[in-house]
Chains A and B, each alone.
Chain A
Amino acid sequence: MWLKFEQRPEPSRLMRYLSPLLAVGLMVASGMLLFHLLGKSPVEGFKVFFLNPIQDKYGIAELFLKATPLILCAVGLAVGFRGNIWNIGAEGQLLIGALAGGGLALHFHDTSSLLLLPAMIIAGALGGMFWAAIPAWLKTRFNANEILTSLMLVYIAELIVSWLVHGPWMDPDGFNFPQTRLFQAKATMPILVAGTRVNAGLLIAIGALIAGWIFMNRSFMGYQMKVAGQAENAGRYAGFSARRTVWIGMLVGGAMAGIAGVAEIAGPVGQITEHISPGYGFAAMIVAFVGRLDPIGIFFSGLLMALLYLGGEQAQQYLALPYSISKVFQGLLLFFLLCSDVFITHRIRWKK
């Protein structure tokens, strides 16, 4: 052992904010190393991956478009993570939310009511909550580990989507493609900036950030969640119900993920297919951590993660690298963050 960590007398506030930046720096550096190893110019790789995607209005709009589901899911997850509720099934909750909202859109395909879109969003939230309620119930009633149950439900949700788009909900005029018919205008999110795809979903995400900030920092329940998460026993002595913490953590996460699902199908996707989400529910966990489980942080980390998705598309197009390079960057980022966090409570001591 050459390096040892020495406990700081008290956690460093400075490092709390520096560690995400350090993590981003390390991710970029290792990304450039990766480009080098792949025989690409690191500078060129950096440009293509991190700068290309946001060089014009359309690119920046795409950044916010991609950030929308990530931010929505991450705010919801952060509420749970603060209370030590490990909902890792946001991806499934997103899909079930999309089915609930999308089902409504398909059923009322001919309506001209302006209420359709709001109803879809509410249905999406309820759908996501329902899917999250299953692990919550299994946890509170049967003590079953929510990490594993919520994750298993992701696979089940994917199979339900697959069944619906191959079967009952398949577009009759779709030449047998596994997808539903395209949603009508009243069932799609209004575009915010003409000439781009960024839509009203972004406003919902920003609303969720504000609501999340108020809940976490200004409400008694948010405080209870935090205490329960940081010091379980203290929470118990104070009479905070662990059961309620689980329910709130899971349901808020599910509702947000469900809304994110509707934002996708009523936004860029425009129908239900098997490819509603390129893993937004999982990436959102990274967004939540990198954002320090804090709405302001989540806003920025959501944009960063969106950039990683866009960068992956660019790398695929201009560097002929597989799209999954995005996920490599995402995983690296989370690792570096988790490791940098040691500096909040410790400092390095070098040993001979």
Chain B
Amino acid sequence: MQPSLLSSILFATIVAGTPLIITAVGELVTEKSGVLNLGAEGIMSMGAVAAFAVTVHTGNPILGILAGMVAGMGMGLIFAVAALTFMANQVASGLALSIFGVGLSAFIGKPYESQTLPSVAAWNVPGLHKIPLLGHAFFEHQGLVYFSWALLGAVAWFLYRSRLGLVLRAVGEAPVAAHSVGYNVVRIRYVAVIFGGAMAGIGGAFLSVFYTPLWVEGMVAGRGWIALALVVFATWRPARVMVGAYLFGGCMITQMFVQGSGIQLNIPSQFLSALPYAATIIVLVIISHNKNTIRLNSPASLGQPFSPEA
């Protein structure tokens, strides 16, 4: 049966939102620990290229995802060393990571440019995928889409229902107090940053192995930055990350559907392509407008270096 247009739009929205969810949830955990890592764009790029290269050589997309994850963890580690051990300015270190990651991924990926991979088969959820309309939209996806949902649930549970999550949040809100009751703030932040890196790496891997199974320089195309904006949009709450990610996913696929539908619009394609970026700005404005929402929800020590001696 041919899926209906609405069903297809929902389906594509979810797919487009998936790398954003994975990356943004990772960043959310990082930021909850009080560390602002602006390197998501660079980490995703490295994750994408590592995953693509490994999948090309092994033919195994699972190994590809793992490679993307490991690359992301490595990038997170580099950032953590700079920002946590060397106490470098987090904003500047994050920018450095982005520039470095985008550059290095282009360098590594050169031999793979213009190669493609066979697309990864979807995994239909038994039973559920037969539901009319919603079945195709929600339950005929590639594995990482389900992973993004599980991740959201797990992180929400971890942050608000587990003891370790409480510690993580305490480290982000009041590192000095957490330190004085015996928690190793720097070590906890290291873990949070590396986790964030791992997720951004998987987010990138999704792009190059699942979403568009190819590697081209610049293919992350700002999604890392959009994921950062999503965390603000979500006011640091996991469930809202999902809403935001699908909102952006919808924005990104609008142009494809408009262009593919044969509707003759008098709009240059570039204007449609600019939609997600413009939407990011608009959404940021709407959310940031109320200073209290941001101040009350963002981790109190976000972006501030912590030295156990001071």
Contact string against A for B residues 270-285, beta-carbon threshold 8 Å, 1 for contact and 0 otherwise: 1101100110110011
Residues of A within 8 A of B278 (CB): 152, 156
A7 to B87, CA, bound (A): 12
- Cβ of A155 and Cβ of B88 under 8 Å apart? no
Question: Residue on B with the closest CB to A143?
Answer: B288
- Shortest beta-carbon distance, A36 to chain B, in Å? 15
Residues of A within 8 A of B270 (CB): 159-160, 162-163, 166
A215 to B100, CA, bound (A): 31
- Cβ of B309 and Cβ of A156 under 8 Å apart? no
Residues of B within 8 A of A142 (CB): 285, 288-289
CB within 8 Å for A152 and B222 given contacts A142-B285, A322-B110, A338-B88: yes
- Cβ of A328 and Cβ of B268 under 8 Å apart? no
Contacting residue for A155 out of B82, B217, B229, B274, CB 8 A: B274
- Shortest beta-carbon distance, B301 to chain A, in Å? 15
A339 at the interface (CB under 8 A from B): yes
- Shortest beta-carbon distance, A313 to chain B, in Å? 14
Q: Which of A273-332 contact B (CB under 8 A)?
A: 282-283, 285-286, 289, 321-322, 324-328, 330-332
Q: Which of B254-294 contact A (CB under 8 A)?
A: 268, 270-271, 273-274, 277-278, 280-281, 284-285, 288-289, 291, 294
Selected interface stretch from B54-62, B91-99, B163-171: B91-99
- Cβ of A149 and Cβ of B87 under 8 Å apart? no
- Cβ of A331 and Cβ of B99 under 8 Å apart? yes
Q: Which of A1-32 contact B (CB under 8 A)?
A: 5-7
Contact string against A for B residues 130-151, beta-carbon threshold 8 Å, 1 for contact and 0 otherwise: 0000000000000000000000
B29 at the interface (CB under 8 A from A): no
Residues of B within 8 A of A167 (CB): 268
A40 to B106, CA, bound (A): 19
A49 at the interface (CB under 8 A from B): no
B107 at the interface (CB under 8 A from A): yes
Residues of A within 8 A of B232 (CB): 145, 148
A56 to B294, CA, bound (A): 56
- Shortest beta-carbon distance, A56 to chain B, in Å? 28
- Cβ of A338 and Cβ of B107 under 8 Å apart? no
For B, the interface residue count at a CB cutoff of 8 angstroms equals 49
- Cβ of A334 and Cβ of B99 under 8 Å apart? yes
B191 at the interface (CB under 8 A from A): no
Contacting residue for A338 out of B86, B103, B288, B289, CB 8 A: B86
B310 at the interface (CB under 8 A from A): yes
CB within 8 Å for A138 and B99 given contacts A148-B228, A152-B222, A341-B88: no
A289 to B103, CA, bound (A): 18
A338 to B110, CA, bound (A): 28
CB within 8 Å for A155 and B221 given contacts A145-B284, A147-B38: yes
Question: Residue on B with the closest CB to A289?
Answer: B92
- Cβ of A342 and Cβ of B86 under 8 Å apart? yes
Residues of A within 8 A of B228 (CB): 148
A148 to B224, CA, bound (A): 11
CB within 8 Å for A155 and B294 given contacts A334-B92, A335-B93: no
Residues of B within 8 A of A152 (CB): 222, 225, 229, 277-278, 280-281
* Interface size classification for chain A: 35 or more
Residue among A145, A160, A335 having the largest count of chain B Cβ atoms under 10 Å: A335
B89 at the interface (CB under 8 A from A): yes
A150 to B307, CA, bound (A): 31
Residues of A within 8 A of B93 (CB): 335, 338
CB within 8 Å for A149 and B281 given contacts A155-B221, A285-B95, A335-B93: yes
A166 to B269, CA, bound (A): 11
B188 at the interface (CB under 8 A from A): no
A152 to B285, CA, bound (A): 13
- Cβ of B281 and Cβ of A331 under 8 Å apart? no
Residue among B78, B89, B222, B285 having the largest count of chain A Cβ atoms under 10 Å: B285
B238 at the interface (CB under 8 A from A): no
Residues of B within 8 A of A326 (CB): 103
A5 to B294, CA, bound (A): 33
A153 at the interface (CB under 8 A from B): yes
List the interface of chain B (C-beta within 8 A of A): 38, 42, 78, 81-82, 86-89, 91-93, 95-97, 99-104, 106-107, 110, 217, 221-222, 225, 228-229, 232, 268, 270-271, 273-274, 277-278, 280-281, 284-285, 288-289, 291, 294, 307, 309-310
By Cβ-Cβ distance, the 6 closest A-B pairs, closest first, are A327-B103, A331-B100, A324-B106, A338-B88, A322-B110, A163-B270
17 A-B interface contacts by CB (under 8 A)? A6-B309, A7-B309, A143-B288, A149-B285, A152-B229, A159-B270, A160-B274, A163-B268, A166-B268, A282-B99, A289-B92, A322-B107, A328-B104, A334-B92, A335-B78, A338-B82, A338-B89
Q: Could you list 11 further interchain pairs (A-B, Cβ under 8 angstroms) beyond the known A167-B268, A324-B106?
A: A145-B288, A156-B277, A159-B274, A283-B99, A327-B100, A330-B100, A334-B96, A338-B82, A339-B88, A341-B88, A346-B87
List the interface of chain A (C-beta within 8 A of B): 5-7, 86, 88, 138, 142-145, 147-149, 151-153, 155-156, 159-160, 162-163, 166-167, 282-283, 285-286, 289, 321-322, 324-328, 330-332, 334-335, 338-339, 341-342, 346
